[in-house]
């Protein structure tokens, strides 16, 4: 599934440093605003220990994890909605992503210039939210005019839609993100179809100093409080440390991680959180050639899951053989699972569970 997360933030908050570490890039980010002019795109593996657990019982040539596409977008500045900085180019880039990873600077460093002159993460978040909300106002007003016309006919659904659009438009005009509006689940789902930038799910990424690992500092605490109110996610990391870890072989990382009180790179957590943020889960296929994690939306049925492998499989789906990683560990192999009566046969209405191991039978 080609789903993507856009890294956004003010200039010099560490976006490109984190992006390069995520994608194991070697390029150093220049220490000045707009060092990233065009969005860079990276494919980031989602760490999943279940893949190695499967491989212990089904030896294979390759192990292929699930992925998230990360887009590093040029720094936003105050006035972007009116064309300042990269203006419309920035807004167009972020509108194409599925979710937002908002990098927030929570560290002091006299050698890294802050575009606003001081470190105040809550102010930075409000600047970003304001510019993105203002960029959404035009879209909301177009929808509002259309809904006003429909409501005049006396259509009940039209009046309900009009009331919702008026509520969202007023919120945006106040410079607030659509995601922070108090809505029912059905209303939130409806607003999510409008193409608003500020309705996209958000993961706050607090970039702290080395001495603030692993728990963060007073600034990241404020961001975490905000994230809780918005039902958003938050990850604490240090871009410098993550860049160092990315340069090391995996077998050499333990000592450096331990010195900062970490058990794994924070970028592993970030990749998993991005995956969760997009409402995704994995199922697995396992055979002689490869073990692979396939990405599907939560709640997907069997045919949709098969269609991720090949589009023809969704139409030609007949049934699936399913077992869990736990079953594999308990009974040793697929033959043992089958003998124990744990190999399930599921049809077209089966809701695929996170971590299912599946074999599909199709007519294709």
Question: What is the DSSP code (8-state) at residue 75?
Answer: P
Mean pLDDT, residues 137-161 taken together:
84
CATH architecture of the domain covering 4-277: 3-Layer(aba) Sandwich (3.40)
CA separation (Å) from 135 to 82, 88, 195?
Answer: 8, 9, 11
pLDDT digits (tens, 9 = 90+) for 48-85: 999 999 999 999 989 999 988 888 876 665 654 455 44
The pLDDT, as a whole number, for residue 346 is: 98
Write down the H helix ranges in the chain: 15-22, 50-57, 87-95, 121-151, 156-173, 185-191, 218-230, 239-247, 254-259, 266-277, 302-309, 311-316, 325-331, 334-339
Q: What is the reported pLDDT for 82?
A: 56
Q: What is the rounded CA–CA span in Å between residue 205 and residue 236?
A: 6
pLDDT band at 255 (very low <50, low <70, confident <90, very high): very high
Average pLDDT over residues 37-54: 82
pLDDT band with cut points at 50, 70 and 90 for residue 345: very high
State mean pLDDT over 105-115. 85
pLDDT score, position 31: 38
CA distance 344 to 349: 14
160 confidence band (pLDDT: 50, 70, 90): confident
Q: How far apart are CA 52 and CA 170, in angstroms?
A: 50
For 315, residues 6+ apart whose C-beta sits below 8 A from its C-beta are 303, 307, 364
> Please, where in the chain does CATH 3.10.20.30 lie?
299-362
User: How far is Cα 35 from Cα 81, in angstroms, rounded to an integer?
Assistant: 20
**Per-residue model confidence as pLDDT tens digits over 190-237:** 998 898 999 999 999 999 999 999 999 999 999 999 999 888 999 999
**Per-residue pLDDT at 86 exceeds 50:** no
In the DSSP assignment, the letter for residue 119 is: -
Q: Which CATH superfamily is domain 299-362 in?
A: Beta-grasp domain (3.10.20.30)
The pLDDT value recorded for residue 321 is 98
The percent of residues in the chain predicted with pLDDT above 70, rounded, is: 90
In the sheet where 233-237 sits, what is the strand order?
A: 40-45, 67-72, 4-8, 99-106, 202-208, 233-237
- The mean predicted confidence, pLDDT, of the chain is 87
Q: What are phi and psi of 301, to 5 degrees?
A: -90, 165
* SS3 state at 8: strand
State mean pLDDT over 346-356. 98
| The predicted structure's pLDDT at residue 30 | 38
pLDDT (mean) for 143-161: 82
Structure confidence at residue 71 (pLDDT): 85
Sign, Cα dihedral of 259, 234, 15, 84:
negative
> By 3-state DSSP, what share of the chain in percent is helix, strand and coil, each rounded to 5?
45, 20, 35
Q: For the chain, give every residue range classified as CATH 3.40.50.300.
A: 4-277
Confidence of residue 2 (pLDDT cuts 50, 70, 90): low
């Amino acid at each position: 599934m080609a789903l993507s997360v856009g890294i956004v933030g003010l200039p010099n908050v560490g976006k490109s440093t984190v992006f390069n570490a995520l994608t194991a890039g070697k390029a150093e980010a220049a220490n000045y605003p707009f060092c990233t002019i065009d969005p860079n795109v990276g494919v980031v593996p989602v760490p999943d220990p279940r893949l190695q657990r499967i491989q212990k019982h089904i030896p294979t040539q390759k192990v292929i994890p699930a992925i998230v596409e990360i887009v590093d977008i040029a720094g936003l500045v105050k006035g972007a909605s009116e064309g300042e900085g990269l203006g419309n180019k920035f807004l167009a880039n972020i509108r194409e992503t599925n979710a937002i990873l908002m990098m927030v600077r929570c560290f002091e460093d006299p050698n890294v210039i802050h575009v606003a002159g001081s470190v105040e993460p809550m102010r930075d978040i409000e600047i970003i939210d304001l510019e993105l909300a203002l960029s959404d106002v035009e879209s909301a007003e177009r929808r509002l005019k259309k809904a006003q016309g429909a409501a005049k006919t006396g259509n009940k659904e039209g009046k309900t839609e009009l009331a919702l659009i008026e509520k969202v438009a007023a919120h945006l005009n106040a410079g607030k993100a659509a995601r922070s509006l108090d809505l029912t689940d059905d209303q939130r789902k409806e607003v999510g179809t409008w193409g608003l930038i500020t309705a996209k799910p958000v993961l706050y990424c607090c970039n702290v100093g080395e001495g603030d690992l692993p728990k963060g500092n007073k600034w990241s605490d404020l961001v975490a409080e905000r994230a809780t109110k918005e039902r958003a996610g938050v990850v604490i990391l240090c871009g410098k440390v993550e860049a160092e870890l990315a340069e090391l072989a995996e077998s050499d990382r333990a000592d450096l991680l331990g010195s900062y009180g970490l058990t794994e790179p924070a970028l592993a957590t970030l990749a998993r959180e991005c995956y969760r943020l997009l409402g995704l889960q994995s199922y697995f296929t396992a055979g002689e050639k490869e073990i692979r994690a396939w990405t599907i939306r939560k709640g997907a049925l069997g045919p949709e899951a098969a269609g991720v492998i090949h589009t023809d499989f969704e139409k030609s789906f007949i049934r699936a053989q399913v077992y869990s990683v736990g079953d594999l560990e308990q009974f040793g192999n697929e033959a043992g699972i089958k003998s124990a009566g744990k190999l399930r046969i599921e049809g077209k209405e089966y809701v695929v569970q996170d971590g299912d191991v599946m074999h599909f039978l199709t007519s294709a």
